[in-house]
Amino acid sequence: MARNEEFMIILNQVKRNILADMDMGLESPFMPDLLKGQRETVAIRAGSLDELEILIGDCKRCKLHSGRTRLVFGEGDPKARLLFIGEGPGRDEDVEGKPFVGEAGRLLTRIIESGMGLKRGDVYICNVVKCRPPDNRTPERDETEACIPFLREQIRIIEPAVICTLGRTSAQELLGREFKITEERGKWRSFMGIPVMPTYHPAYIVRNPSRERELKGQVWADVQKIMTRLGLEVKK
Ligand code: URA
């Protein structure tokens, strides 16, 4: 990688971390005006999720558009108290145009319905990137940067009481690149003033059958914290 390319990536990272701190109500130590200006240039505003979906349109803002079948905007109750955020659509989601409908999605649905006693339609589910990365690879920085204004606007419009990030990518997008999922999941954090519970991605459980019990137990512990916060009855 060229040195100036590396420098730009680091600089962008510093900027994103400062913006994430500002989201949590912390003062930026430097360049607050410059950063505020930058925020405005990427901010997207819509009056509703439907309007936002029209704004995203036939999106070609990053290279992921060329490999997608369907853009996966998100689905659920636009006034949901709980918002789940995954990484990006997989194969099934890309075909159906809906988030979390494959094997990992079925596990997430079981967590919501059998575990939490809610209906899938009671919550809102979306992803950091709205188009499938090739071979389900992790989305790249330029891809998440192109898509994040839409996620931020989804959060602003839905105004959930709790956000649950699923896996490392969505946690790092909201909470900063240094976030370590194995060490820091299960602890309350905050984004845009909203409590965030980071937990494992259901696909991580599906991919690790030998640790299924342990991982499910950890996710269930995190989900119980969300339930308590939302005033839902936790059945022991
Ligand atoms: N994994 C994700 O992160 N999101 C989906 O929608 C499906 C699988």
The answer on 103 and 10 residing in a single domain is: no
- C-alpha to C-alpha distance for 234 and 228, rounded to whole angstroms: 7
134 Cα: distance to centroid of ligand 1 (angstroms) = 13
State the total domains in the chain.
Answer: 2
228 Cα: distance to centroid of ligand 1 (angstroms) = 25
205 Cα: distance to centroid of ligand 1 (angstroms) = 13
CA distances from 196 to 22, 98, 232 (A): 15, 23, 17
The answer on 177 and 85 residing in a single domain is: yes
The answer on 120 and 60 residing in a single domain is: yes
The answer on 27 and 115 residing in a single domain is: no
The answer on 221 and 156 residing in a single domain is: yes
The answer on 50 and 33 residing in a single domain is: no
Domain limits at 78? 45-230
* Greatest distance between any 2 Cα atoms in the chain: 55
| CA angle centred on 194, ends 75 and 72, rounded to 5° | 20
99 Cα: distance to centroid of ligand 1 (angstroms) = 6
45 touches 153 (CB < 8 A): yes
131 touches 64 (CB < 8 A): yes
- Give the nearest ligand 1 atom to 128 CA: 3
The answer on 25 and 49 residing in a single domain is: no
CA dihedral 156, 158, 160, 166 (to 10 degrees): -90
- C-alpha to C-alpha distance for 45 and 47, rounded to whole angstroms: 7
- Give the nearest ligand 1 atom to 86 CA: 3
pTM for the predicted model, two decimal places: 0.84
The answer on 37 and 126 residing in a single domain is: no
pLDDT at 38: 52
Tokens of 61: 């803002």
What's the pLDDT tens digit per position in 107-148?
999 999 999 999 999 999 999 999 999 999 999 999 999 999
The answer on 140 and 27 residing in a single domain is: no
Q: Is 236 part of any domain? A: no
- Give the nearest ligand 1 atom to 127 CA: 4
What's the pLDDT tens digit per position in 34-79?
555 454 446 899 999 999 999 999 999 999 999 999 999 999 999 9
pLDDT at 70: 98
- CA 57 remoteness from chain centre: 20
199 Cα: distance to centroid of ligand 1 (angstroms) = 14
pLDDT at 236: 72
Q: Is 8 part of any domain? A: yes
**Count of residues making up the chain:** 236
Q: Is 3 part of any domain? A: yes
Give me the sign of the Cα torsion angle 26, 32, 38, 39.
positive
Q: Which residue has the tokens 């912390």?
A: 26
The answer on 141 and 185 residing in a single domain is: yes
Q: Which of 34-38, 78-82, 174-178, 211-215 has the lowest mean pLDDT?
A: 34-38
- Give the nearest ligand 1 atom to 169 CA: 3
pLDDT, mean of residues 213-236: 96
Q: Which residues line ligand 1 (CB under 6 A)?
A: 86-90, 93, 99-100, 102, 104-105, 127, 203
Contacts of 214 (CB under 8 A, 6+ apart): none
